[in-house]
């Protein structure tokens, strides 16, 4: 199990930038971020551009019209569950 942190970002569209700023202060190399729901709409946020490991549920990615960045990895529900189990610490920000 990884000793790093998995951040689950489930904030609404208007609060997502503030949540990403908070995560950027906590984020360490080896951590990962999952954008969920409306949070995927903040894919252009500077932190998302530099985040090493960034995920989103494939269902939520349907909200995006633009081409997806190469560092954004799509998850189905099974791989999302596996990802959560791979981390010993998960933090949900809403």
- Domain ranges (residues) in the chain: 2-93
Rounded Cα distance, 81 and 62, in Å = 20
Q: How is domain 2-93 classified at the CATH fold level? A: Hypothetical Protein Ychn; Chain: A, (3.40.1260)
Q: Which helix (H) or strand (E) holds 78?
A: helix 77-86
Give the pLDDT confidence score for residue 37 in this predicted structure: 93
The percentage of the chain sitting over the pLDDT mark of 90, rounded to a whole number, equals 69
Question: Residue 1's closest CA among 63, 88, 90, 61?
Answer: 88
Rounded Cα distance, 1 and 48, in Å = 24
| Across 13-22, 44-53, 60-69, 70-79, least confident range | 60-69
Are 35 and 54 in contact by the 8 Å Cβ rule? The answer is yes
Are 4 and 89 in contact by the 8 Å Cβ rule? The answer is yes
Instruction: Indicate whether 75 pLDDT > 60.
Output: yes
């Amino acid at each position: 199990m990884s000793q790093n942190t998995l951040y689950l970002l489930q904030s609404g569209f208007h609060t997502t930038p503030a949540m990403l700023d908070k995560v950027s202060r906590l984020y360490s190399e080896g951590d990962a971020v999952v954008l969920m729901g409306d949070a995927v709409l903040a894919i252009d946020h500077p932190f998302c551009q530099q985040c090493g490991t960034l995920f989103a549920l494939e269902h939520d990615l349907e909200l995006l019209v633009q081409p997806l960045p190469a560092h954004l990895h799509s998850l189905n529900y099974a791989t999302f569950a596996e990802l959560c189990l791979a981390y010993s610490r998960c933090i949900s920000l809403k």
